[in-house]
Structure 1
Amino acid sequence: MARTTGSTGVKTKEAIRRAAIKRIYQHGFEAMKLRDLADDVGIQAGSLYNYIKYKEDFLYLLLKEVLVELLDGLAKEVDGPETPLAALEAFIAFHLRWHTARREEVFIGNMELRSLSPSHSTEIVGLRETYEKKLRDILEWGNKDKVWKVRDPKVTTYAIIAMLTGVCTWYRPRGRLSQEQLIEVYRELVLRGIGLVKK
């Protein structure tokens, strides 16, 4: 397949990223061959090395980019609310919107951490912990303001994130529930879980 006339390096890089996400999601990182990826994008296999020097580095950079985008998006949503409840509701809505829209990347992030080198894995886990800490801080804020009483904010953080992220395994945009209806269902589940349901 010939490279599209007039395509730029930036466009090619983005095309590689999209094609790699699809291949890794469908076949796994270890099974992804760079020659096949080059064919998907329509470039020569040798040209791919202008964008990917090492396969593992590419996975690391992909996961890092996704997590940086996640953290940037979260900051815009949860740094504004003035109460713990509003911040928690904003976190729930953001997490569900982002994760249902980026299901393939979420799957890769959860399944392919094992394919990273120890140093890269440590950095990616650190970014994930930064995200988790945002929720833990909200739960601790609510404890401090006596909005709710969460016995163990750290464990509760893990439980809430696992529940919210699990939606990626079954949610379909054209399913019975709209995204907003889904958010409302999960909002009630989370608030019930911490002993607080907003009427």
Structure 2
Amino acid sequence: MMTYEEFKSMVHLSRREICKEIFNENKDLIKVKKPERVVKNLGKIFEATLALSNKKGFHAMSLRDLSSGAGLSMGALYSYFSSKEELLRMIQDQGRRITSRILEEQIGTVEATREKLQTAIVVHLYLSEVMQPWFYFSYMEAKNLPKRAQKEAILSELSTEQMYADIIKQGQREGIFKPRDPEMTSAFIKAMLQDWYLKKWKYQARQVTVDAYGKVVVDWAFAYLDNQTAMEQ
């Protein structure tokens, strides 16, 4: 099974690279046009937004709070977004794009169905470790999003579950997985992955590493799904 260190060596997800992607996706909205300055200041803005939101909630965070936290003037903030709602959209959209893209890239390198499911589980887990503040923010703020954004967040979560379900269905067609309910099994896998980034304090107190946690989730999935008769043939 791929380790967390191996994942980080293959997937470069620095704050700088994420901010460059956000700049490229929102060039028509961002008034500052010097890439280096944009990347630097977007990093400050997003880091402060996630820190403040995870402490007091996005809607309780004022732009004055953000200005102080990011070390930028109010005028400078408005050079990057026109409202808190637009800032929220930028953060949510980019996080979902990155997660979806990397999952698809990594799963696409694997042929065997059993290994594909294992890869899908650990890559999602490792992404949530690298991007833990975003994953926590995205989950906790979903209920406060405007209706359209709420729908997009729900569809994003369901698409991840559907990815697991599709792999499970393929394994069932091949006879290597038992005829378990694919959607319910996928929901349980997703719930276990969410527990890692939502309650990380619990596992830190127990000195559980991300690799050890990933092994437990994978072992559970295969213990529940594996068709031992087919595997022995």
Q: TM-score, normalised by structure 1?
A: 0.87
Q: Which residue of 2 aligns with 1:184?
A: 215
Q: 1:149 and 2:178 equivalent?
A: yes
Contact conserved, 2:189 with 2:217, CA < 8 A, in 1?
no
1:106-155 per-position Cα deviation (integer Å, ceiling 9, x unaligned)? 11111111221112222232233322221111111111111112432112
Larger displacement relative to structure 2 (48-57 or 85-94): 48-57
- Which position in structure 1 is the counterpart of 2:139? 110
Is there any run of 5+ residues in structure 1 with no aligned partner, and where? 1-6
Other-structure match for 1:71: 100
Shift, 1:56, TM fit: 1.8
1:170 aligns with 2:181: no
The one-letter code of the counterpart of 1:30 is H
Give the structure 2 partner of residue 193 of structure 1: 224
More helix by share: 2
Aligned length: 192
Counterparts of 1:99 and 1:179 in 2: how far apart (Å)?
10
Counterpart Cα distance in 1 of 2:116 and 2:83 = 40
Distance (Å, rounded) in 1 between the aligned partners of 2:217 and 2:227: 13
The 1:80–1:174 alpha-carbon spacing in structure 2 relative to 1, beyond 3 Å, is: farther
Partner of 1:17: 46
Letter in structure 2 aligned against 1:146: G
Partner of 1:3: none
> Is 1:158 matched with 2:158?
no
Which residue of structure 2 aligns with residue 47 of structure 1?
A: 76
Matched-pair contact (CA < 8 Å) for 1:67–1:128: no
Who is 2:126 aligned against? 97
**SS class of match (1:143):** helix
Partners in 2 of 1:150 and 1:64 — Cα distance? 35
Q: Give the Cα–Cα distance (whole angstroms) in 2 for the partners of residues 174 and 94 of structure 1.
A: 23
Give the corresponding residue for 2:161: 132
1:32 is paired with a residue whose SS is coil
Unaligned runs of 5+ in 2: 1-35
- The alignment-based identity, stated in percent, is 23
Root-mean-square deviation (Å): 2.1
Structure 1 residue 51, shift from structure 2 partner: 1.4
- Asked if structure 2 preserves the Cα contact closer than 8 Å seen for 1:64 and 1:124, the reply is no
Give the letter for the 2:80 counterpart: Y
Query: Following the alignment from structure 2 to structure 1, what is the Cα–Cα distance between the partners of residues 126 and 179?
Result: 25
Contact 2:53 2:61 (8 Å CA) reproduced: yes
1:77/1:90 contact within 8 Å kept = yes
Tell me the CA shift for residue 175 of structure 1. Answer: 6.0
